[in-house]
Structure 1
Amino acid sequence: MPVREQPWPAGTPCWVDCQVDDTARAREFYSALFGWEIGDSAPEAGGYLMAMRNGRPAAGIGPKPSGPTMPSVWTTYIASDDADATAEAIRAAGGTVLVEPFDVMDVGRMLVAADPTAAVFGVWQSRQHFGAAIYNEHGAYCWNELHTDGYRRAQDFYAQVFGWVFTEVGDGENVTYATFAPGPGADPIGGINDSTLSPGSAPPYWLAWFQVDDTDAVLAAATDLGASVAMGPQDSPFGRMGVLMAPQGEAFGVIDISPPEGSPS
């Protein structure tokens, strides 16, 4: 069981949460699908719910902020040692700070921003809450992936703000895709997909992926719980995967990374 008991390095996707209209409904759905333990929140938390697996924070569920109508979404947060400095770096690189840095009680400091292609992400400066304390196992997030029609522009932005180094892994014709790492020679920590090769795709967005033990079974269970399958199940070089739209409309991916039965180990 991969666990984390210290802050994630700056520039690493460190947390995911969803913003929905009905947090109680989302709690029921994700608890049933992933086995999350989700208790009630303290009054000062503003209705934000912490999803736990094996007693460790796995993800968050929160109400949508007041203001203009927005769709239900999963948000990827990138670790920072200084949220205010990162906000300035975002502006300097051509991004937009949508929600200025603010303290979240005593647990951390955060902001919400959009890259130059309009994909929204969060930045988390940890204090008491480091981010995900469990990952890369059934019911925990395992990958974060940007889908954008501004592929090169987005790479330039994230390289400037977070120091990411990109490695092209697609064929450039059917798939234009790169993994990103915090520096040369480091292990990949996420990916970026050129959505112009997928006609009719959604506006730029970050997609959170959760690891599962059986993709087909999870897609079937999610459908029974009111979700819809947007993609899959299908095999890939990385595992058997699918993309779901939860009952309130937020998209997320699921992937089983175990080798197919009968394949070489």
Structure 2
Amino acid sequence: MNDFAGRVALVTGAGSGLGEAIARRLLAGGARVTLVDNRAERVQAVAARYDPTGGSTLAVTADVSDARAVEEAVARTCAHFGALHLAVNNAGFTGERGVNTGEYSVEEWRRVLATNLDGVFHGLRHELPALLASGGGAIVNMTSAAGIVGVEGEPAYVAAKHGIVGLTRAAALEYATRGIRVNALAPGFIATPDLLASPPQEREALAALHPMGRLGEPHEVAEFAAFLLSERAAFITGGVHVIDGGYSAR
């Protein structure tokens, strides 16, 4: 698993769930990782859990909806580790559910897009120049099965996740000959701590949406992200890679 030795990565939303699982996988592969999250206690706990000696992680508290904060996180990474080769723009949240587009509030629309879509743009805006300066690398943007199909009652989240697909493809084309690969990963419903905290009947209903009849596991998504970031995926860019137990195949 020493596939990321000598590489420096940045992962947003690294304080829990998919971000934590991806950061853990990259650390296990030998990478040094900047862990970014908007809650200091969570990201510091992840750093202590997987890097108790403190030599392989940098914990940064930042809200990805703030362009300046993301710029600072990238700058701190390069100053601390001397380079940036890999990035995972994972931070996001669902927002209000069960509200149709005609009743959805403008405030909630802007709040959801600010993190889910603007946050990915802010990441790319500052990660891409840093990767170029470091000799190239790879980026994974976290979209969702909701970025491929429609979902009722979640217009802002669906719009943001579809937007990430377009942003990923545009960046992939722009940097394809410059040593940087950009891909999107589209999970279905994953057994993250937040989802597992929901009532059992809700979890069962979500699991049943997948033809495989279960929720995905964070480590499964982390392994796919690691593949896309690795040299094993050297000819893969601009793709939207689904890991959803068949959800979007219906």
The bucket for the TM-score relative to the shorter chain is 0.3 to 0.5
Q: TM-score, normalised by structure 1?
A: 0.31
Decide which structure has greater helix share.
2
Greater strand proportion: 1
